Structure 1
């Protein structure tokens, strides 16, 4: 017998090695705590990127206005320092707690949205009235906790009806879920916030999709969404300018299209690897709202295509983890809530990034976990804490966590008498 030529054997060994590596990666994805660690890892990496880019995008303007380049960074770091412990505590709560808290969160959010419309309390910016002012520069955007309230309330409502086998009638799918969603949408619409209105509707559709609503119901709701969006666009001149600017990007370059033009220029100027952290031009007042709505453009300018792909990859992994949790948990409430939270965060990211790269009109929605702002950051971190709590209830997750032992944060809570019982 003669040995096979080396040139013929090498490709076979290479293919076998690639198959072994692929099998190793797939085995990692099949582990019980995969979703848990993906949510934690993606969240922390996006927060770190966000803090870095908030500093880079705001340093020049803040130095000019306040005398310190670190003003917005310090505020954002404070909100992160508040939000992360809240996320950790939320992850340790039993599922029943979320079902109990869903109703007061929903009621408080509706009350906050109503108070925004009261003259003297509501603060306007960018054509929308979104914030409650408490003096001393402290503001709250009630529409952000309203998203969390709608997810938990809607999930609990549909889970109860599914347990009672009431969802065979399409009316039970909509009542009282549709009136509750409609009330939030109405209050948000009165504040002229089209972007949040669309996200609320997406959460509503996600809940209906998970519960198995018929196609005709989706078509009807989508028609209603399109009608309301059209009304909101027509009645507000600044939205019409944004829409016409999106349709005709070469028109009005110093007016309606200025922000989008500058954003795409900054994004494109980054090349493959960017101009370097702190080396971008956007911070020199060339790009409006570079630390909030258009932070993705600043990131692309300074970190290049590689940086933007990392952000897209992190949101993609977060979407995978959230939907994996929804698929693996057995409880209908957890399945509904996990899907709603995942769709909320990911769709908001898609809408923000889509506006920056000019495939969607500008809506003023921030990039979750990355853009500056505590009103959006803290509810998002709490929602991700809910996802972590659900991830612990995937098959085999409890045993894996018990074998690993409590983490340092859990031990501190236990010493303080605040740990789970």
Structure 2
């Protein structure tokens, strides 16, 4: 059979092999269909989504909402056995947390609707009120000691208040306002204006917290202080000096406390050890390890049956890993990463110095506390006794954190591009548009002609 003639300028795209057609070796792959092209398109799509004006707004709102809702579910699951052991209803702790979440939602909404000027005006009253309550904690008969830490005030009945949790919010608001005012005057280049009175007031808060023995909260407050100094552009020598001084103080506090030394010795422990000193740390690892990929099922935890202390507070992440598995814990980590990433974007894109300091301080607070809590559960850090933000049981920790999230939402709305995008989404029809038009008509009718008396 004569060979089939090829048209000039054409290449065979396929060759026949045993009755089948396969692409020729020299056939070119269509442009844009390879794996590298797909990766580039995905990167471009993610970059476009990230550059949208309302991305930070939706990330902050969505991630904080999901963390809080999932936290309520896990508080109910992790606390029901403890509540029944105390002779209370199985939903006792859940109801208290749900009430706190409702109050916190109101605070979040109020903070998200406040103008920046009002946020700055609240800084000094919040700091003064927090200092007053933290002093009251040390007054005999008023302060209440829980688990060896005297950081609580009884509000009557089952309700307690921990003023040191509000100290984080107070330091952020007051410190951001202070640094913003000094920055507007060009004083932050001088070390005395950068450190005074920010560092002395922060150390006053730290001293009051350490009087109650709560080193975990003091560590978070120290992280907030360093975050504010870094955002203010502190020189490397000054930053390292303050960090070294704080490190010496922390080392002395740990060395002089047998309880803190025991916690340090439990770092990376795999056995409960002598007198079961590492019982909590080891059983936290047991809970995570028994969860597998997808967990034993919601409510099916074994460690919460009296094996793992503080299962619904400091070690709720371990119960999450046991019941929801690696998928559940990675989801929680992803939500915190999204919240922290959005906070960094808000702080980096604003032109308002107060917003930059406040957004950076809130982001430092939430991410540092999450890292310390999760690191302790994983056995990577000593147990500090701090709750997982928005997730663990505790109204005193939930309320200021939700207010702080409201601050981030308000700051995200204040971006110029975000304001323009929100203005374009105002309804052009419907009752809201009708009300706006009716009010404008009334204003025009009330205006009298120039010659009328």
Instruction: State if a TM-score over 0.5 links the two structures.
Output: yes
Paired with 2:390 and 2:12, the residues of 1 have a C-alpha distance of: 58
| Contact in 2 for aligned 1:35/1:322 (Cα 8 Å) | yes
Counterpart of 2:202? 181
The structural deviation recorded for 1:254 is 4.9
The structural deviation recorded for 1:126 is 2.1
| RMSD (CA atoms) | 1.9
**TM-score after normalising by structure 1:** 0.93
| Contact in 1 for aligned 2:295/2:322 (Cα 8 Å) | yes
Counterpart of 1:2? 11
Paired with 2:124 and 2:78, the residues of 1 have a C-alpha distance of: 38
The structural deviation recorded for 1:4 is 4.4
| Contact in 2 for aligned 1:328/1:395 (Cα 8 Å) | no
Whichever structure has more helix as a proportion of its residues is: 1
Deviations 1:240-269 (A, max 9, x none): 211122276546265220000100011111
**In structure 1, which of residues 352, 363, 368 is the aligned counterpart of residue 384 of structure 2?**
363
Paired with 2:199 and 2:84, the residues of 1 have a C-alpha distance of: 47
Paired with 2:374 and 2:274, the residues of 1 have a C-alpha distance of: 21
Provide the secondary structure at the position in 2 that maps to 1:123: strand
User: Mapping of 1:247-326 within 5 angstroms?
Assistant: 250=271, 252=273, 254-326=275-347
Q: Does 1:164 align with 2:185?
A: yes
Counterpart of 1:192? 213
The structural deviation recorded for 1:134 is 1.9
| Contact in 1 for aligned 2:288/2:318 (Cα 8 Å) | yes
Deviations 1:84-132 (A, max 9, x none): 1210111010000111100010111111111111111111122211111
Q: Does 1:352 align with 2:373?
A: yes
The structural deviation recorded for 1:183 is 0.5
Q: Does 1:89 align with 2:110?
A: yes
Q: Does 1:232 align with 2:253?
A: yes
The structural deviation recorded for 1:83 is 0.7
The structural deviation recorded for 1:12 is 4.8
Paired with 1:380 and 1:52, the residues of 2 have a C-alpha distance of: 18
Paired with 1:170 and 1:142, the residues of 2 have a C-alpha distance of: 31
How many pairs are equivalent? 409
Paired with 2:64 and 2:229, the residues of 1 have a C-alpha distance of: 27
User: Mapping of 1:6-21 within 5 angstroms?
Assistant: 6=23, 9=29, 12-15=32-35, 16-21=37-42
**TM-score after normalising by structure 2:** 0.87
Counterpart of 1:144? 165
Relative to structure 1, the CA distance from residue 298 to residue 10 in structure 2 (aligned partners, 3 Å threshold; closer, same or farther) is: farther
Counterpart of 2:450? none
Counterpart of 2:75? 54
Paired with 2:263 and 2:422, the residues of 1 have a C-alpha distance of: 50
Q: Does 1:391 align with 2:400?
A: no
| Contact in 1 for aligned 2:294/2:326 (Cα 8 Å) | yes
The structural deviation recorded for 1:9 is 2.0
| Contact in 1 for aligned 2:136/2:143 (Cα 8 Å) | yes
Paired with 1:64 and 1:255, the residues of 2 have a C-alpha distance of: 22
In the alignment, structure 1 segments of 5+ residues that lack a partner are 415-421
Paired with 1:312 and 1:254, the residues of 2 have a C-alpha distance of: 33
Paired with 1:130 and 1:177, the residues of 2 have a C-alpha distance of: 23
Counterpart of 2:153? 132
Provide the secondary structure at the position in 2 that maps to 1:66: coil
| Contact in 2 for aligned 1:253/1:261 (Cα 8 Å) | no
Q: Does 1:241 align with 2:262?
A: yes
| Contact in 2 for aligned 1:325/1:390 (Cα 8 Å) | yes
In the alignment, structure 2 segments of 5+ residues that lack a partner are 1-9, 15-22, 436-453
Paired with 2:345 and 2:274, the residues of 1 have a C-alpha distance of: 44
Task: Select the structure of larger CA radius of gyration.
Answer: 2
The structural deviation recorded for 1:224 is 1.7
The structural deviation recorded for 1:169 is 1.1
